[in-house]
Amino acid sequence: MDRWLRSPPLEAELCFLPLPVLPPVRHRLRQSFSLVRSLVSKLPAKAIFARSRRMSTAVRREIRGGGYDLVLLNGTDLLWLLDEVPGSLPVAVVAHNIEHRLYDAQVTSAAWLPEPFRNHLKRDAQRLARYELDGMKRAGNVIALSADDAAYVEQRCAGLHTLVLPPAFSYNPHPRKPPPRANEILDIGFVGNFAWWPNQQGLDWFLKRVFAHLDGHVRLHLFGEQSDNGARPDGVVAHGYVPDLGEVLGQCHFMICPILGGGGVSIKAAEAIYNRVPILATPFGVRGLPLVEDPAIVVRETPQDWVRFLGSAAAHELAQRSVLEINSRRFLHEDRVKALQSYVLRAMGRDRSPGDRSYVPAQQSTDYSDSRR
């Protein structure tokens, strides 16, 4: 996103203020402390976790140093910084996810939790919903990656100025593995950070309820962090983290996205579609993506539907197809620059000349290659 703001004609000057990254042990301790604090606080645990006195001081000092036209909060977990921004300075929030929906889905899926603790987490998710929606109303401007997320907040925050900005890519699409010959094993791929619970949940669902019922003519390739952790069934090849997407696609006839929950959009589904690689997905796996009907994008909901599809000639037919160019172009980065710059100008409330400066306190510059999704 920062490259898009720096591009002509806006040519914004950006200043980044990153939040400190905690070591894993301190991160987990702070999470636990935040949950305990939330028992006696009006704030949700996520807000307690994110708040930083040092960050508040840095934001006040930087804004006082002056001349900024816009504050861009990179994630709704930074909404607590609204208290540090003068009312005269416009604010836009990048909603990577609707965090309270993601939180609630995670709690709901954790049936193993003791009931009193689950009830506390449910109440905390409700507090997070009020906190998040109130914060977006205060900001007034929200950039969402998902059309579904944008529609959700628009229904609950009257007058909100929104922009749907799906993932976008600027490199030339990679070739994929040539289509299989008759009776050749079908190689399918699943990319993700398997430390992230929606990917863990989706993989577990696929292995137990789909893959276990196939007859061995399908080989599954896993790519991404922790994909090679632990034993995998026969017919599953775990590659770990592979930095070159071309290498990933070169080993797969098509990709799968068996995601059942989470938030935002599946960036890896979007990236497969950008590369014109066929995809088999759950409805949630392509949720919020701006797609037209396409025979190379197959959506199946139940495990029985997936087993029937992968066990039939239709799977080999899918491997022969390519995603329609109109869907691939939906994720072309050039088309996003103009939309984002126009939105930023409207958020600032007036037309601006090239060379404007935008102020961006953020956890990190937005990177749509994030392998968690």
Q: Is 238:262 a contact under the CB 8 Å cutoff?
A: no
Q: Write out pLDDT tens, residues 139-191.
A: 999 999 999 999 999 999 999 999 999 999 989 999 999 999 888 999 999 99
Mean pLDDT on 225-253: 92
pLDDT value at 241 more than 90: yes
pLDDT for res 357: 36
* pTM reported for the whole predicted model: 0.82
| Burial class, 176, CB count within 10 angstroms (exposed 0-12 / middle 13-18 / buried 19+) | buried
Q: Is 90:349 a contact under the CB 8 Å cutoff?
A: yes
C-alpha 275/C-alpha 173 separation (Å) is 5
- In the chain, domain spans: 2-168+335-351, 186-330
Q: Per residue in 220-252, is it b (16+ CB within 10 Å) or e — as a string? A: bbbbbbbbeeeeeeeebebbeebeebeebbebb
Q: Please give the CATH superfamily to which domain 186-330 belongs.
A: Glycogen Phosphorylase B; (3.40.50.2000)
pLDDT for res 265: 86
From the CA atom positions of the chain, what is the Rg in Å?
A: 22
pLDDT for res 263: 78
pLDDT value at 302 more than 60: yes
pLDDT value at 216 more than 90: no
pLDDT for res 253: 97
Same CATH topology for 2-168+335-351 and 186-330: the answer is: yes
Out of 2.60.40, 1.10.3470, 1.10.287, 3.40.50, the CATH code matching 2-168+335-351 is 3.40.50
Q: Write out pLDDT tens, residues 81-102.
A: 999 999 889 999 999 989 999 8
| Burial class, 154, CB count within 10 angstroms (exposed 0-12 / middle 13-18 / buried 19+) | middle
pLDDT for res 371: 35
How much is the mean pLDDT over the chain? 89
pLDDT for res 334: 81
pLDDT for res 135: 96
- Percent of the chain exceeding pLDDT 70 equals 94
How many CA atoms lie less than 13 Å away from 66 in the CB half-sphere?
1
